[in-house]
Structure 1
Amino acid sequence: MELEEMKNLWEGMSQRLNNQKTLTDELVIEMTQLKYNSKTNFFKNKEFFGLAVAYTMIGIVIYSFESLDTWYLKTFGIVMIIILGILPLFSIDWVKRLRKIELTKSSYKEVLEQFYKTQKRIKQIESIGLIISPFLFVSSSVFFSKIIGNEDLFKLNMSWALITSIVLIFIGTIYFIIISNKKKRKQLKSIEQLLKELKH
């Protein structure tokens, strides 16, 4: 076999190997995109369920608004509508940002930048949620005591049993939010690990 033939043969083999590597890399990225979409579905389903619950609550508040017969009860009703109307939209926004990341159309660096930007946004929304949750809790407690029991919470004789119940429910609510945020972070860590594996 002449040197020229060997050279051509070698170049052909190299080209086929390069093509095969490109094909394998594309396949890995596509498989990773499928896994990524599957993991982000966890957030999509959870946040859209939360949105449905929040807007159902808004409907209940609006429907029952005439029953709120004092200015401060109406104020608590309005506070509930505002919080329940706005907060879930922030959550839906970051879910959309997370699901918009396309591994097949962006470089590894761009994918990680988009992911970390979204992760930062999620942490900001979590902080806002923790700050706002006491206001939502107080508003909903006042609202439901009026709607369900036809009692103005501020005019009730506050027994220790009632105060203890309210405090325990409040602590339980905060605990639920913290646990929910921890699960969210764990899932995000899993997604981050998946994306980092693309570098290898």
Structure 2
Amino acid sequence: MTPRPHAVNIYCMDSRDALLQAAAEEFARSGLKGTRVREIVERSGVNERMIYHHFGSKEGLFRAVVEREFGGMGQAWRQAMAEAAELEPYEGVRLAFCTLFDLVHSRPLLVPLAMQEGLGGWGVRPPLPADALPAELRDLHERGVEAGTFRADVAFEVLYATAVMTLMGTPAMAGRFPAVLAERDMTQLRDQMVALLLDGLTGGRR
């Protein structure tokens, strides 16, 4: 008996999701070049031909994994930026930084995948030019400088890069310092890290 069309579609959707999840774990651990298709197939329980059906190649699967991981985070990040833009500069920047930390912490594969993507030369997500940084956060920074809340000698680009590297790296590296970080409540850790960033931005005046 020929399978009903909708049954085939459901299987295709399930197999695609299973491949994306399994591949994310393998790529995060071994990178694009170090991951074998057989390992993804074994982890997902999906026939190998479905990789080529859905993604065309292992490289296409890697691209889909990276885009899904960053894309899901990006949507939540944009929502937070819209909320932060309505606040006073200090509170708006604090909300943005706290949200970034929370988003990364809730996606344990994000940083390993970003590291693998970086080692591969950022082929899927090219480096960001300065004019592509969040406009809402830039505006908060400018308003804070004008109001005297933020230091004028800290360029926005430096602030943004420092915050991203610090807040994305901390959840990933917590296990390296178990006595200091891994056993600490993540909300408390987040608030302390954000406070350190804001102290640097305000010169400790607040």
TM (norm. structure 1) is: 0.27
* TM-score, normalised via structure 2 length: 0.27
The higher-RCO structure (CA 8 Å, 6+ apart) is 1
Larger relative helix fraction: 1
Larger Rg: 1
